[in-house]
Structures are given as C-alpha cells and as structure tokens.
C-alpha cells in the first residue's frame, strides 16, 4: 500500500486546499480513496494487507501531512506548478506523481476486466477507480485542473465505497499476471 498511499495523498492535499480544510470533504475523500486502495490491493496481492491498525494509522497521517499531501496542496493553491516536476527542493522526490501513472497504466491493461455492477459489463479495473482516473488526468495528462478532484467526489455516478470494498472482498480478484508473475 506504500505506493498507493502516496498516490491518494496528493488528492487529499488537493481536497484540503480546495475546501479550506473542510473536515466533511476530507472524510468523503478518505472513504472513497481507501475503498479504491482496498480494491487495487485485492487485484495486486494474493493475500492483501488489511487496511487496519498501524497500516491505517500510517495511511491516515500520510494523507493528512505527508510530502505528497503537501505537494497536492501546493499544486491546488497554485504555489507549485506541474511543470516544476516531481523533485522539489527541500522536500525531495514526490513519489505519488509517477505512481499515479504506473497504477493507472497497470489497471488499464486491455487483458484485464472486472464486472461493473451497474452497467453489468466487463470494464478495465481503472474504471472502478474514479479518483485515480481524475488524478491521472490532472497530474499526467494535464487535461484537468486540480478542482476536478472535487467534481469526482460530487459525481452522482460514483460507486459507493462500500460496494467497491464488497466487490474486492467477495470475489477472487488477484491477478498475478499484473505484476509479471506466472
């Protein structure tokens, strides 16, 4: 989950900056991003870690105050530009930026599919991860502004986080081929 928490920490920083630290907005983001993290880890790990105890605490603090969250805040406030890159003086490498691209590409592979419950059709796993998709459009493709992260949370078609977790926990999702394993 280390790489994932850095991905979602950037979005958490954006949400914090764009909502003036709204506790409600940050909690909605936390529910959605952790459900995506659980879904993704069930795809990538034969025995995924449970997001509880020390791992949950570490994820929470990373989303609140880690350097990736700081980066998301600075991007959303306009104090940093994406053109400055992901190596920031005094902060070091912002790992979440490249991880957004890597996870997006991994979960977009044409050989993968999961059932989209509402549409009752097979889709790429990334289609069930609207926050990851939005971060990709903001950070990698640069086709959306940071405010898009808030729109992703307001999207009425957004899957209920409970549904995403249930899908992950009740189906055999693990795909060793994702990580180049036989």
Catalytic site residues? 5
Closest-CA residue to 30 (of 8, 54, 57): 8
Instruction: Give CA–CA dist 137/100, Å, rounded.
Output: 10
Instruction: Give CA–CA dist 96/36, Å, rounded.
Output: 15
Q: Are 74 and 80 within 8 A, CB to CB?
A: yes
Tokens 């989303």 map to which residue? 63
What interhelical angle do 23-44 and 161-170 show, nearest 10?
20
Instruction: Give CA–CA dist 141/42, Å, rounded.
Output: 26
Q: Are 88 and 69 within 8 A, CB to CB?
A: no
């Amino acid at each position: 989950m280390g790489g994932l928490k850095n991905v979602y920490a950037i979005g958490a920083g954006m949400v914090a900056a764009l909502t003036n630290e709204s506790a409600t907005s940050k909690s909605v983001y936390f529910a959605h991003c952790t459900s995506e993290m659980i879904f993704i880890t069930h795809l990538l790990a034969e025995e995924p870690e449970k997001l509880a105890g020390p791992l949950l605490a570490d994820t929470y603090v990373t989303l609140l105050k880690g350097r990736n969250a700081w980066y998301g805040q600075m991007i959303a406030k306009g104090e940093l530009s994406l053109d400055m890159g992901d190596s920031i003086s005094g902060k070091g490498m912002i790992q979440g930026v490249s991880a957004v691209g890597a996870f997006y590409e991994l979960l977009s592979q044409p050989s993968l599919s999961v059932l989209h419950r509402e549409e009752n059709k097979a889709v790429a796993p990334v289609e069930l991860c609207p926050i990851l998709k939005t971060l990709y459009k903001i950070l990698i493709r640069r086709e959306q502004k940071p405010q898009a992260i808030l729109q992703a949370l307001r999207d009425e078609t957004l899957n209920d986080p409970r549904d995403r977790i249930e899908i992950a926990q009740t189906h055999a999702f693990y795909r060793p081929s994702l990580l180049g394993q036989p």
